[in-house]
Structure 1
């Protein structure tokens, strides 16, 4: 029993320090802070292939040239290289952690990845399959929360704005209606910045994070959705910043003639 308790504490301490535990589909929107803006867009392109009738062993096929055209790029060798490099980044930077339970009741943490197969061919074809353990969460995300059109996501320039859009989408259950995003400073940093190569959390001074990350994402989101107002509240313990609440409000104007 003592060994069980020590192991339970050890697992909890590891995850709360640097990882995001996925327990439902919309958690995936918070789990990829390590991705670049370009990698986010490639991931969105991959998600667009998912259909409601798909099964966990489904292998999807994309063409590099189609991705290049979708992103408004020219078909140079450099851009083909960018596509392959982005898939390499997706393979390396989409770790997923899941709670699992054996039939005996023994609980644990499954350490896996979003993809279990990415194959790039000289013909330009790219085959990919989501991890079987994660597939159900991908299907939930696409069905219930992924309401942005692919073209809208492709226009976004900043990875911070992409992250904010996906958080908004997931927290409003795919409706893009009024919602409030809440989190500690550490959670916000994880969602937007991810982790270092050694797995430690990336951090910024709170004032810099607010100015260069949150406010930057706010400005671009408001340009994309002019009917949206954002109200950011800084939570403090004394003078120390401990978290943020962000209210996203859609404005609806009715004119009578």
Structure 2
């Protein structure tokens, strides 16, 4: 009976994981966990990440000024833009659900949490936030070892998809932007860029639509921002069916171009 019950629990856990794309097992998973965010929300989140320091602990409380965020994003000091930043933080509070796999006493489990423990917006324009203590170690490791690009670089990226790809590039290059390989199934790539619907179900596009509207767009934009780098996309197939992609990003000594295969 115990074996049967255990099997049922395994199926229940696997069902949760199949419906959500937020499983975090290592720091760079955070770079591909927020497909639901818009480009603007991504940039506000990156601004939050920029405050993390090597000596911070999971209890660290961060304080930012809304006006500084508005200036960083190149916006004017209108009431509309204050509202826009406030709504971005509201989205960060609701769209950053995370699943953490656990293993205790020989048993697998899942912690359902979110990126932030709390976000407080005060009427004088001050914003105070704290990362979830369960997630904080991943945030610190990501910032220290992978988040090597500057905020100025992020501000130059226009599309959400290019911004996501830049983070994947950085997270898979071990802090060095001269070489990286990003590989995954079609479903994994779609989860990184598209996120899920309102019911938590992964969004699914046809392989052709995804390649044309997401991969090609993001690769072309980053290719213009980083013209010395070679972006080589390989489509992986099983027969005629597209099952995944591999993207190699390298910085060769000679002049390079973007390649699609």
The residue that corresponds to 1:27 in the other structure is 29
Which blocks of at least 5 consecutive residues in structure 2 are unaligned? 256-261
Q: Which residue of 1 aligns with 2:116?
A: 115
Q: Does the 8 Å contact 2:22/2:97 carry over to 1?
A: no
CA distance in 2, matches of 1:173, 1:247: 14
CA distance in 2, matches of 1:133, 1:228: 36
How far has the Cα of 1:106 moved from its partner?
Answer: 2.9
Count of residues in correspondence between the two structures? 253
- Residues 6-21 of structure 1 aligned to structure 2 (within 5 Å): 6-21=8-23
Q: If the length of structure 2 is used for normalisation, what is the TM-score?
A: 0.94
Q: Could you report, residue by residue, the CA deviation over 1:72-102 in whole angstroms, capped at 9, with x for unpaired residues?
A: 1101000000100000000000011111233
Report what 1:252 is aligned to.
253
SS in 1 for 2:149: coil
What does 1:130-209 align with in structure 2 at a 5 Å threshold?
Answer: 130-209=131-210
The aligned residue for residue 86 of structure 1 is: 88
Post-superposition offset of 1:61: 0.3
Inter-partner Cα distance in structure 2 for 1:99 and 1:118: 25
Q: Which residue of 2 aligns with 1:64?
A: 66
Residue 53 of structure 2 is matched in structure 1 by 51
Instruction: Determine the C-alpha separation between the residues in 2 that align with 1:32 and 1:223.
Output: 24
**1:17-62 deviation per Cα after TM superposition (whole angstroms, max 9, x unaligned):** 4323111111100101010000000000000000111111111000
- How many Å apart are 1:173 and its aligned residue? 0.6
Report SS of the residue matched to 2:197: coil
Superposition CA RMSD, Å: 1.2
Runs of 4+ displaced beyond 3 Å: none
**In the alignment, what sits opposite 1:100?**
102
Q: Give the whole-Å Cα distance in 2 for the aligned partners of 1:16 and 1:239.
A: 25
Shift of 1:253: 4.3
**In structure 1, which of residues 3, 7, 16 is the aligned counterpart of residue 5 of structure 2?**
3
* Alpha-carbon distance in 1 for matches of 2:135, 2:11: 25
What is the aligned partner in structure 1 of residue 240 from structure 2?
A: 239
Q: Deviations over 1:121-174 (max 9, x none)?
A: 110000010000000000000010000001110111111001101111011111
Matched residues in 2 for 1:90 and 1:17: separation? 20
Which residue of structure 1 aligns with residue 259 of structure 2?
Answer: none
State how far apart, in whole Å, the 1-side matches of 2:211 and 2:234 are. 11
**Distance in structure 2 (CA, Å) of the matches to 1:19 and 1:192:** 11
Q: Which runs of 5+ in 1 are unaligned?
A: none
| Residue-by-residue CA offset, 1:185-207 (whole Å, 9 max, x unaligned) | 10000000000000111121211
SS at match of 1:204: coil
